[in-house]
Structure 1
Amino acid sequence: MPLTRVTLERFTAFTHLSLDVSPGINILIGANGTGKTHLMKVCYAACDVSRSGIPFSEKLVRVMLPSGGSPGRLVQRSVGNRSGTATVHRGDMKLDVTFSRDRKLPPGDKDSAWVAQPVQSVYIPVKEMLANAPGFRSLYAAREIHFEEVYKDILDRAYLPKLRGPIDQSRKRLLQSLQDIIGGQITVSNEEFFLRNRNGNLEFTLLAEGIRKLGLLWLLIQNGTLAASSTLFWDEPEANMNPGLIGTLMNFLLELQRGAVQVFIATHSYVVAKELDLRTKDGDDLMFHSFHREENSGEIVSSTASTFHDIDPDPISDTFTDLYDRQVSRSLGGLE
């Protein structure tokens, strides 16, 4: 069952947020510092613990990485706030945790119903990790290095071997479309990733970062991580991506959604949002969630629309409109 709602009370940047989410694609937009990544990490942690069985509170600390591993630092920094709560819903099921500034991690908060229906999930961070993968997981396990656990997790998913059994037509089509773009298949040798094509194996350190990201998607499809009933979280998919490829990438995400994969992306890109909007077909389920700070209170609030055109406020389009107006003004010699 996909995620259906997330509620945050006095948690990191949020005073209060209750957000219903789509079982299809959720596009999070907003200025820097409006909590988009925090929201996705809360949802990802909830999905991940459904399979790992570790306490929700512990996973949140690992993926958010507050200073000193102190869970109390996840409580919103405001006078009088002593505790904060994060709650994630899947239909009638919910997983919640309350952090306090006055104590360490709360007691174990496993939920038997939540764990009884595990969700396969993957979080793709902004920084691409496959080029730097060799030795990272063993270093992470042995040493206290300052990396959010999402970086170790994405490598765990990428290193999974090929899924056993025949490849269904949907997966085969997605894999082939990615192979056509990147020009080959991805292989692994001694923890090092390579793009294999007719000329041999090309190491990931010599590939453009955009190609590496597409190669990661190829791996996640091949090994079954991204399959029906799974959930994908992707922070700024446009980063280091050729704008000419973004339309193809968004079509790929739409195909995943049509295959019952729930998707969350956080973006600052007009091209990402508009390509999704234009490529949507009947039956697709998209929600655009806009986050902004109230002028008077400074609180982060959200609004939701089913189309990019209906988002209000829309900082992405506002910026492009301003650029267009300035270009027109310049072309007219500065006339109003």
Structure 2
Amino acid sequence: MIERLYLNNFTCFDDSVFDFCKGINIFIGRNGTGKTHILKCLAASMKANALFSQSTSKTKDKFGDLLSEKLIGYFKPDSLGHLVNKYGLGAASVKVELTTGDIAYNFGERASLVKTDNNAYIEQPHFIYIPPREMFSLFEGFISLYERREISFDETYLDLAKAMDVSPLKNEALKRAKDMLAPILAKWNIDVMRKGNRFYVIDDSQEYEAHLVAEGLRKVATILYLCINGELRPGSILFWDEPESNMNPNLISIIVDLLMELAQKHGIQIFLSTHDYLLSHKLSMMAEYAEETSPAMRFFSLYKDGHRVEAEIANQLVDIAHNPILEEYSAFYDLENEYIKRHNERV
């Protein structure tokens, strides 16, 4: 698992340390507080480490090249140095602590390459990164287009497309994979299939092209297929940026049940960012009232204090003072009461 992340002068972070749990790690905070940056930093570092294991050259310079490439590919800055906090001291450093070892590196604001002391592959779990925009309907021709043309999607979309390009499992392996999907399959008669370069959803025995299915359903179907083809597997790591994007609340409830199942029964370490009240507070409710049957959970509330991004950390949302999701809902409740009061006074 990923145990800890150190960020020093990296993007919007000054000097931050994040201690993770082995279950579900949830990041909340207003836009611009670095939730996605944490997920991408972890995933880019692990992707470079994975590529280093396949490299014939096992030198610090080669590892640095791969880290540079993945940071630029995942964040899409004009230059590597733009990932340095402009209010910092001109250099950024990152350290990802895994159970098996550390991935540590640094770079300056004028640097074109990352510097690292790592010259050996750090054993790590398989991982999947799911960005906010769905890939289910975009898959057809996406990989060849990305590799041949300059397009606005970052590399997290390419990596997801490549994961979706893997063929489904068979026989007993497929049965075990579908066991991970129990929360979805128990509430929804759905299946996913691929024909050529197109995906289809089978809902109540009716087949629909990916383009004809609502975006929220496409995101659920993506998770379904990643389990079916073994890319989301027991003991792996799942990064999911804004799962709630374009999802109806009834799907959010299914997603919460799925996350609980993946973490508790299948040992998948989960990192997700969210702005959704139902998603964050239902997870917190499970942590608070169903401790014996729930996986470990940790909430990270990111907020700005001047130019600094601070982090408040707790195992339940009730212990978080900076909760912008709850603050907006409380403000809406107060506004509604004010309108009701004015209406009653007029009547």
Establish whether residue 319 from structure 1 lines up as the match of residue 319 from structure 2.
no
Q: Cα distance 1:319–1:300, how it changes in 2: closer, same or farther (>3 A)?
A: same
8 A Cα contact 2:105 2:116, kept in partner = no
Residue 267 (structure 1) aligned to one of 262, 268, 274: 274
- The match for 1:3 is 2
Q: Cα distance 1:107–1:325, how it changes in 2: closer, same or farther (>3 A)?
A: closer
8 A Cα contact 2:184 2:254, kept in partner = no
Residue 194 (structure 1) aligned to one of 195, 200, 209: 200
- The match for 2:155 is 149
What secondary structure, in the 3-state scheme, does the structure 2 residue paired with 1:32 have? coil
What secondary structure, in the 3-state scheme, does the structure 2 residue paired with 1:229 have? coil
Higher mean C-alpha displacement, 139-148 vs 6-15: 139-148
What secondary structure, in the 3-state scheme, does the structure 2 residue paired with 1:263 have? strand
- The match for 2:60 is none
Residue 135 (structure 1) aligned to one of 130, 141, 158: 141
Q: Cα distance 1:197–1:313, how it changes in 2: closer, same or farther (>3 A)?
A: closer
| Residue type at the aligned position of 1:141 | E
- The match for 1:124 is 130
Aligned equivalents of 1:330 and 1:197: distance in 2?
A: 43
Q: Cα distance 1:88–1:212, how it changes in 2: closer, same or farther (>3 A)?
A: same
TM alignment of 1:276-291, pairs within 5 A: 276-280=283-287, 281=290, 282=292, 283-291=294-302
- The match for 1:105 is 113
What is the percent sequence identity of the aligned residues?
Answer: 30
| Residue type at the aligned position of 2:74 | V
What secondary structure, in the 3-state scheme, does the structure 2 residue paired with 1:254 have? helix
Q: Cα distance 1:198–1:244, how it changes in 2: closer, same or farther (>3 A)?
A: closer
8 A Cα contact 2:105 2:115, kept in partner = no
Establish whether residue 21 from structure 1 lines up as the match of residue 28 from structure 2.
no
Give the deviation of 1:92 after TM superposition.
5.9
Aligned equivalents of 1:216 and 1:193: distance in 2?
A: 10
What secondary structure, in the 3-state scheme, does the structure 1 residue paired with 2:216 have? helix
8 A Cα contact 1:47 1:119, kept in partner = no
Aligned equivalents of 2:204 and 2:328: distance in 1?
A: 44
Give the deviation of 1:71 after TM superposition.
0.6
Aligned equivalents of 1:15 and 1:28: distance in 2?
A: 18
Residue 81 (structure 2) aligned to one of 72, 76, 82: 72
Aligned equivalents of 1:109 and 1:151: distance in 2?
A: 29
Aligned equivalents of 1:154 and 1:113: distance in 2?
A: 23
Query: Aligned-pair RMSD on alpha carbons?
Result: 2.2
TM-score, normalised to structure 1, is: 0.90
| Residue type at the aligned position of 1:298 | H
- Consecutive unaligned residues of structure 1, counting only runs of 5 or more, are none
Higher mean C-alpha displacement, 270-279 vs 139-148: 139-148
- The match for 1:93 is 101
Residue 235 (structure 1) aligned to one of 238, 241, 248: 241
